[in-house]
Structure 1
């Protein structure tokens, strides 16, 4: 059975910085939202937590393209994470969580799991 999800508004278009990321808080934890206007799709979202250090820093990483793959380089240890799949390009046994992103008017929404508390209330 697929876990229940919902589309959570996390920021607005005005909060985004081209070629960069912004950190947002969701019920699922900290997430890094990236806006790459030269790509389609232009919006990506991955966990903000660097799995190698445990620090919430990935939104501050440098975005780029490695062999056609949109990536962010962790500002701490410089590993590259695919913005599409979450896999670390230097160590494919490591992955960060990815989130579907939706542009809803001026709102940026992420598909996040419904928390146990939300499930009970429903």
Structure 2
């Protein structure tokens, strides 16, 4: 696994998502300072709503985990695994980390 610079911590919004392009794929990056991991990356593609929209969803703590609610049909996706909590679908998830002011994604 190799780590690649994704963005600066200052590019992120507390308790919200931003979209980034990583190797031609849209990634939704979430900064949740309350969470142990603090930063998460899942696919921006909502497999139910069929749109690149997850970065615009609301961050929540649901069923003991951090998740994002899709702005289209309100399904919740785990920020750790990308699994939908209500349906049998997933969106990709990538390991991410913060080192100083830099945010890295593993690929």
TM range (shorter): over 0.9
TM-score by length of 1: 0.82
**Per residue, is there more helix in 1 or in 2?**
1
Runs of 4+ in 1 over 3 A off after TM superposition: none
**Per residue, is there more strand in 1 or in 2?**
2
**Uncovered stretches (5+) of structure 1, i.e. residues with no partner:** 113-122
Q: Tell me which residue corresponds to 2:28.
A: 32
* Secondary structure of residue in 2 paired with 1:39: coil
Distance 1:97 1:81, change over 3 A: same
**Uncovered stretches (5+) of structure 2, i.e. residues with no partner:** none
Q: Kindly name which structure, 1 or 2, has the bigger radius of gyration based on alpha carbons.
A: 1
Distance 2:43 2:70 in 1: 12
**Residues 23-58 of structure 1: per-residue CA shift (max 9 Å, x gap):** 000005010110111110111110011111221110
Residue 64 of structure 1: how far off its partner (Å): 0.3
Aligned match of 2:43 in 23, 42, 47? Answer: 47
TM-score by length of 2: 0.93
